[in-house]
Amino acid sequence: MKKIRIGITVVGKDREGVVASFTNLIFQKQGNIEKVNQNVIKGLFGMHLEASFSREFDVKKFDRELQDLGKQLAMEVSVYHEINSDKNIAVFVTKEPHCLEALLAAKSQLKGKISIIVGTEKTLESYAKKAGIPFVLVDEKEQQKAEDHLIEVSRKYDIDLVVLARYMRIMTPNFVWRYPHRIINIHPSLLPAFPGAFAYAQAFERGTKIVGVTAHYVTEELDQGPIIFQDSFKVDSADTLETIKEKGQELEAQTLLKAVKMHLEGKLEVSWRKVYTK
Label the pairing between strands 183-187 and 161-164: parallel
Strand (E) positions, the chain?
Answer: 4-13, 32-41, 44-53, 75-81, 87-93, 112-119, 135-137, 161-164, 183-187, 210-217, 227-234, 268-271, 274-277
Contact 253, 210 (CB under 8 A): no
Q: 233 burial class (0-12, 13-18, 19+ CB within 10 angstroms)? A: middle
* φ/ψ of residue 142, rounded to 5: -75, 130
- Which of these is catalytic: 63, 86, 160, 223? 223
Active-site residue flag, 139: no
Preceding amide of 192 cis, omega within 30: yes
Give the whole-angstrom CA distance, residue 214 versus residue 252. 8
Residues 189, 215 contacting (CB under 8 angstroms): no
Contact 138, 146 (CB under 8 A): yes
Q: Which residues are catalytic?
A: 223
